[in-house]
Amino acid sequence: MTTPATKIVPVEPTEEMARTGACHITKTDHQNDRYYSAKEVYKAMLAAAPAQPQGWLPIESAPKDGQCIMLYEPPGYIGTAYWGPDNLGNERWIAGKTKNAKSGAFMQMTMSIDEPTHWMPLPPPPERSKE
C-alpha cells in the first residue's frame, strides 16, 4: 500500500477554501454519487489552500497549540520543540518532544528554549520503501 501525498493546510478552511468548496458542490453534486462529489470538493478545497511558507519564519508567527515544530535559537541551536507548560507549569518553548511516526506517541524531555528567533514546520516523514 502506498502512502498518499500530503499537504499542510490550515486546521480551519480559509474563506477562499470555503468559497471554492461551496462553488464546487454546485458543479459536481450528483444525486447518485455523493462519494465522488465529496472527493472532488475536497480536492478543490485543497487546491485553494494557501501555500505553505518555505524556510525559517519569525518566532512571533509560530503556533502555540502544542504541535511539534523546528526552532532556531542563536547562536546555533536547531531542534524540535513545542509550546507548553514546563515542570513548574509555566508556558514556554519546550525542547525534545519527538513523535513516533508509526504509533503517533510522543516522548518528552523537559528542557526549555529561552529565546528562539525563528521556526519552521516539520517536514512529513519519509515514505516507506517498497521492499
Each domain of the chain, given as residue ranges in start order, spans 15-48, 57-121
Return the pLDDT at 1: 46
Per DSSP bridges, beta strands 69-73 and 77-85 are: antiparallel
Give the separation between CA 51 and CA 46, rounded to whole angstroms: 10
pTM above 0.85, yes or no: no
What is the CB-side half-sphere exposure of residue 12 using CA atoms within 13 A? 2
Confidence of residue 118 (pLDDT cuts 50, 70, 90): very high
